[in-house]
Structure 1
């Protein structure tokens, strides 16, 4: 990348873990493998325990970490990310950049889809135009504008047609991309699933069923989907023999099992049914001394999003009262115990390095965290503002064990600290929770955001007017002007001034209690010693399996 720092993009490559055992596939795994020399008993299958269902395999529709993880295991874009978090050429064999930093020419390598169709520059043009097409209603359409692709924002806003997007397949092997401004982290963004290719003929053949079942998917990456149904509790990826680098893929398949109950997931791990699980709460204490235990710093920020269309939540004093009324340190130390840290910020630590070479949080403002006495003062002011003595709100959260425990604790803390405030709990599967928040059909929601690229803007642009991730529908023109200037306006080419503008933008978010931060996620996981080469990242796609192996 030209003059790019993947600013403290945290990674962990699980390597050289001791011990070897023979492995055989789980009974739910298809008996066939793609390796002609491997019998079912000899197949190398990594069994992965996950706490949520796979929501989407459509690269234009997916919004959550697990979906991005699985999509990235089956599809590669122009770039991929290596173990050190550095973008490397993937479907692009060569990339040329003009001197002014505004024009990229990519040469597509000789590779093919899992149905034998050659990968074409047209696959990228089609996918990118579909992403920004308002009819697609992609929650990630904004990211094309973040990447600086010419006319992207105007197309998303419905002001220009999709054919005016700055991407063109000059021929089957040549993709030309025009930017409206130089973007330092452009190559890194191209490794993100939103920029992955889609075969137009296959997409049109499948129609409304595209990406809803294993048969309605194509792969050009290390693995391909063998079995999956939306909402199912198991799905299986098998090695893709048509992948251009298939000779270096060491495992025959990835077998995913959705196990929401953490006790059941631990039991499955101890019984050898899964090779990988995430730990929570007391389990972490029990396994911290195990050589199979690993703590991974993650970039996810968990926070409460108040819907300001709900009567009462438009009041700043009420929002400030709620934001200060729960003990974040108790959440990370007594409930999660997984290396998470209490969050009193909108931009996480260890995300991005500024022009001064320091982590963003080192020089950004500090904000109040928990202050129950101050919270009570704000609640008294809110009651006067609203003319009420009590208020009842609904707290929406997903049905994982950790989210449930955190929601229950926040409910107890707020109701105790703010007499007259009642929180009713509403648990939903993750996909439903996200849909309710996207549609504005909630009051207060416990949600999270993971960084798509190593810059504070990956968080800050979420709270601009009209951004689909601005669940609470907060509006502030001063904020929008500041963010727009820092992302694509006058400040975009002034690194020092831009950095200070980002800090100011975060201060506005925090001072206006647009969100109520809870914690920055840490992941405590168990990995069987015979499994190696899983790569973890805090930015973009969180887990890659291309170099995984099982002895």
Structure 2
């Protein structure tokens, strides 16, 4: 993920668990907060309604909240979960995510790929239009993707998502080649050809990501600097269109009657208010003014037992990063001691109390499946860490002997919010069970944490990650030598070789590729102890039982409202 995504640090740390995205933030971020990557602020949808039975009845209006303003509705410039959420609600790309993260056709009716998997050809539907009446064509994708990697645009996610994926993207984003050389071509109005730098096993899922949405060139250029900054400066081709946008206050989406699949869209309106305080959201929910409310820890406790309280597991992991440039943390036994001394069960059951799960590896559960057996990645590799204080003390004693020390002070870089401080206090208590260890907590604002992480000016750091696409690589590729999001000092030729092999030599051999990722995770966590896994996040929220059909996504828009409806609201 992009640099600003690097640290789900803090707020996530907790009761109110904050946001994650692009993977997604969460109305569990209800109080707003800091996040990394697609894990920034997340809207308050109703993921608990997925798969519900019933039928639309009564006024089809959904009232929800978000914890932050939409920074932009420009797909080329979007970098956070709030923007990606509402882009995904108002626009269609080639494909979109349906139930159970299955890819379903959107503007693309079908696709073919060449035998070497380097060329993808998409056949586009001919009944899709923009809200100004223009047809959506292959030229709109060519323009949008070229714009995203054009260095003059200044997109952050364009190069991040396309470099090394779309042919010539990296050279173009570096200013070394003309944008017209990008490997995307309109063969005719409704045939789009995409050429890749190398086989990308997860490429289809990228086509559902916000950076790959189309743009109407005439409209964008007509709007100039005003494009995507106000409701009237936005053009939609998706299930909804934005009609009002009161910055920092609220926005309104209404059904796009000209949408190619309008017959399957039931909601007539989605009204979103910016509400930063959890207590305010809960009051609005209790009074019936909104239909969903994300909760922090204390409110989870207050609402315990309510049939309207739902928790949902998310593919977002939190862990302690350990700076291996530090004399002590460069010792593998010291890192294994830290892995083993933390009680993750108490962390999720007592401190978080929102349905989060103990993390036992670098891949979350229910995220990646074996391509043949369908078995979950997490089930196959099992628990790569365990809480065992006695074993932790043994590792620590060995480390102290190897280092010639009998006492150590480590700094824990943390957040300055109330919830972050509570989490960090728990971690300090757990870590100081190691004989001779003193932990000094350093709470700082989010922007300062980003700087300190970038400069690797930390000892221990509570961090997190949510996926940019549905593939183990989105988690494991982070830790290669000098990886932009590594920032631990970890460097292993053997680990690098496994990731390189999985993404190149085995790109077209899914079983062997998957098994290579299994091996890489064991090396990362079990052998080299690069991270101390903490928890897999879950969100806790209240939602009205009459809201049905909202789909929660593991990447891209946090929620899909295309199929949502109201059933029986009084």
TM-score, structure 2 as length reference:
0.77
Q: Which whole-Å CA distance do the structure 2 matches of 1:545 and 1:12 have between them?
A: 11
CA contact (8 A) 1:12 1:536 kept: no
When residues 310 and 83 of structure 1 are mapped into structure 2, their CA distance, relative to the original with a 3 A threshold, is: same
**How big is the alpha-carbon RMSD for the aligned residues of Structure 1 and Structure 2?**
3.8
- Superposition pairs for residues 431-470 of structure 1, below 5 Å? 432=447, 436=451, 439-440=454-455, 443=458, 444-465=460-481, 467-470=483-486
The SS at the match of 1:396 is strand
Corresponding position of 1:177? 194
When residues 532 and 272 of structure 1 are mapped into structure 2, their CA distance, relative to the original with a 3 A threshold, is: same
Q: What count of residue pairs does the alignment treat as equivalent?
A: 514
CA contact (8 A) 1:392 1:424 kept: no
Q: Please tell me whether residue 396 in structure 1 is matched to residue 414 in structure 2.
A: yes
Q: Which whole-Å CA distance do the structure 1 matches of 2:363 and 2:171 have between them?
A: 27
Corresponding position of 2:236? 219
CA contact (8 A) 2:421 2:443 kept: no
Corresponding position of 1:542? 558
Q: Which whole-Å CA distance do the structure 2 matches of 1:208 and 1:190 have between them?
A: 26
The superposition leaves residues 6-55 of structure 1 with CA deviations (integer Å, 9 ceiling, x where unpaired) of: xxxx99625247998x7xxxxxxxxxxxxxxxxxxx6x432223455545
The SS at the match of 1:420 is strand
Q: Please tell me whether residue 239 in structure 1 is matched to residue 255 in structure 2.
A: yes
2:440 to 413, 422, 430: 422
CA contact (8 A) 2:411 2:441 kept: yes
The superposition leaves residues 245-298 of structure 1 with CA deviations (integer Å, 9 ceiling, x where unpaired) of: 345432233233344443332222111222112234354355454332333232
* Structure 2: tracts of 5 or more residues without a match: 1-46
The SS at the match of 1:220 is coil
- Superposition pairs for residues 69-468 of structure 1, below 5 Å? 69-98=85-114, 101-108=117-124, 109-133=126-150, 136=154, 138-139=156-157, 141-144=159-162, 148-152=165-169, 162-204=179-221, 210-228=227-245, 232=248, 234-306=250-322, 316=332, 318-354=334-370, 355-364=372-381, 366-376=383-393, 381=399, 385=403, 389-397=407-415, 399=417, 405-415=422-432, 417=434, 419-428=437-446, 432=447, 436=451, 439-440=454-455, 443=458, 444-465=460-481, 467-468=483-484
Q: CA deviation at 1:491?
A: 2.0
When residues 160 and 19 of structure 1 are mapped into structure 2, their CA distance, relative to the original with a 3 A threshold, is: closer
The superposition leaves residues 112-134 of structure 1 with CA deviations (integer Å, 9 ceiling, x where unpaired) of: 33344432322212332344456
The SS at the match of 1:490 is coil
Q: CA deviation at 1:334?
A: 1.0
CA contact (8 A) 1:365 1:503 kept: no
Q: Which whole-Å CA distance do the structure 2 matches of 1:49 and 1:499 have between them?
A: 39
Q: Which whole-Å CA distance do the structure 1 matches of 2:304 and 2:158 have between them?
A: 37
Q: CA deviation at 1:56?
A: 5.0
The SS at the match of 1:459 is helix
Q: Which whole-Å CA distance do the structure 2 matches of 1:114 and 1:311 have between them?
A: 60
TM-score, structure 1 as length reference:
0.79
CA contact (8 A) 2:255 2:267 kept: yes
When residues 477 and 125 of structure 1 are mapped into structure 2, their CA distance, relative to the original with a 3 A threshold, is: farther
* Structure 1: tracts of 5 or more residues without a match: 1-9, 23-41
2:515 to 486, 500, 504: 500
CA contact (8 A) 1:19 1:530 kept: no
Q: CA deviation at 1:422?
A: 0.7
Q: Which whole-Å CA distance do the structure 1 matches of 2:132 and 2:180 have between them?
A: 28
The superposition leaves residues 169-228 of structure 1 with CA deviations (integer Å, 9 ceiling, x where unpaired) of: 233332111235555543333112232123344445555665455455432212233455
The SS at the match of 2:507 is helix
CA contact (8 A) 1:452 1:458 kept: yes
When residues 218 and 470 of structure 1 are mapped into structure 2, their CA distance, relative to the original with a 3 A threshold, is: farther
When residues 289 and 474 of structure 1 are mapped into structure 2, their CA distance, relative to the original with a 3 A threshold, is: same
Q: Which whole-Å CA distance do the structure 2 matches of 1:476 and 1:388 have between them?
A: 29
Q: CA deviation at 1:237?
A: 3.0
Deviates more, 1:498-507 or 1:441-450: 441-450
